[in-house]
A and B are shown apart, each in its own frame.
Chain A
Amino acid sequence: MSLTKPVDGTVSLESDTAQQSAADADRILVERVQNGDVAAFDNLVRKYRERLYGIIYNLTSNREDAADLTQEAFIKAFSSINRFRGNSAFFTWLYRIGVNTALSHLKRNRLRRFFSLDHIQEEGSNAQVLETLAAKHKSEKGALLSELQEKLNEAMQKLSPKHRTVVVLFEIEGLSHQEIADIVGCSVGTVRSRLHYAKQQLQADLKHFID
């Protein structure tokens, strides 16, 4: 899996090797599960739960739903593990299940949406962004963060599920265009065009913070 993403969304040679060894480790675990070692699936759950939860959470903007749907996605993956033939990486297959589970949920509940957000941790590389924003807006960091989180969420929810999915997978999860195309089941060109359109929308909705 890509842990870092180059600017153009392609996968570098270095991350290729890391991806390959991660894929090999996953394949071994998958084979163990397919041979009846149920507990081996726990390793896959521990490895991917945070990222899968992150994808579903950012698609639904509801932490309770995200927890439930993440488990549902893992159960679906577990129940159909014998159908996984290894033609794609395990994480691609798992994320596809997760994305489809979340999108079906959104479709079923499109008229009944409640948002509940996780806490943003003020740490790491985002500290600089927050400092800059706080200075520009002459506001206290905590208050700014709450406002920003709310506006970000609103802007994300205005996007169609298809566009939101691409933004979540590329900008938040850091996957490559090709990986997203595999997960979503469309061409790389479509991924790029959706991403371009979505970012234009977001830029318009968040211009208060960007300008």
Chain B
Amino acid sequence: MGSDQEKEKITVEDLLQLKRNEKPAEDFWDNFEKDFHRRRLNALMEKGTNSAIGFISLFKALAFTLPALLLVGMTVFWSRSSEPSLSRSATVSNEPVVFDTGESLVQIESPQPAATEALPDFSSDRVTNQFVVDAIQSSPSSGASFRKVLYTPAIRLSPANGASYVRDNLSSSDYRVTTADLKLGRNF
């Protein structure tokens, strides 16, 4: 009798456990997975774009600041070596800079203008993150925007960022980017 009453006693824990059975409809997870894949693809493309833009900015900053710093450094060295009391001489040309300290020869490489010339011009092709997101989110039938994304050199996807995953997804029926596009694309 007592145990029957115990059985019939409802606790707050019993009520809360009913919430374990609140579940979404069966097709919910199919849509969930599709949406998740689309969002992950966006995240990968954004990540690639962010890191590419960051790398380009860093590269540009270094290209400007390094020669400047070297120039300042050389000027300081030069002015010191020009002081009569030190009786040192320096030669500046395209050749490596050689300082004669009187006791030994110190050689410093001159700044390389060739490094600046080798910088690719990314500015005209730079895309915003939003552009990539919009491109991916646009209608699957509008393949043109994907081509823009594929051919934009500002986007770089390293293997760790899942370049092959993005490539496979873009070539899937969802996005209809052709194999030829992918072969021509410079990003993969």
Contact = CB atoms under 8 A, between A and B. Distances in A.
A199 B44 CA distance: 43
Given A75-B43, A121-B23, A199-B12, A152 B18 contact: yes
Nearest to B47: A79
Contacts, number: 112
Interface residues of A, number: 51
A14 interface: no
Given A71-B32, A202-B12, A118 B17 contact: no
Given A49-B32, A79-B43, A126 B21 contact: yes
A67 B18 contact: no
A167 interface: yes
A125 interface: yes
Contacts of B40: 38, 41, 74-75, 78
Given A36-B160, A38-B40, A152-B19, A132 B10 contact: yes
Interface stretch (A96-104, A185-193, A203-211): A203-211
B43 to A, nearest CB: 5
11 contacts: A36-B161, A50-B23, A124-B21, A128-B7, A136-B10, A149-B22, A152-B15, A152-B16, A172-B20, A209-B15, A210-B15
B10 to A, nearest CB: 6
B161 A148 contact: no
B185 to A, nearest CB: 18
B8 interface: yes
Contact of B21 (A50, A53, A123, A203): A123
B11 interface: yes
A67 to B, nearest CB: 6
Given A36-B159, A36-B162, A206 B21 contact: no
Contacts of B162: 36, 38
Interface string B1-37: 0000001101111111111111111001100110110
A119 B165 contact: no
B39 interface: yes
A129 B24 contact: no
Given A36-B161, A38-B165, A172 B21 contact: no
A197 B19 CA distance: 20
A152 B15 CA distance: 8
A58 interface: yes
A38 B39 CA distance: 13
A45 B165 CA distance: 16
A190 to B, nearest CB: 20
Given A67-B28, A129-B14, A121 B160 contact: no
Given A36-B161, A120-B22, A121-B23, A74 B36 contact: yes
B159 to A, nearest CB: 5
Contacts of A194: none
Contacts of A120: 18-19, 21-22
Contacts of A57: 22
What 5 pairs between A and B have smallest CB-CB spacing? A38-B165, A38-B162, A171-B16, A118-B22, A121-B21
B44 A171 contact: no
Contact of A67 (B20, B21, B32): B32
Contacts of B21: 120-124, 126
Given A118-B22, A121-B21, A210 B8 contact: no
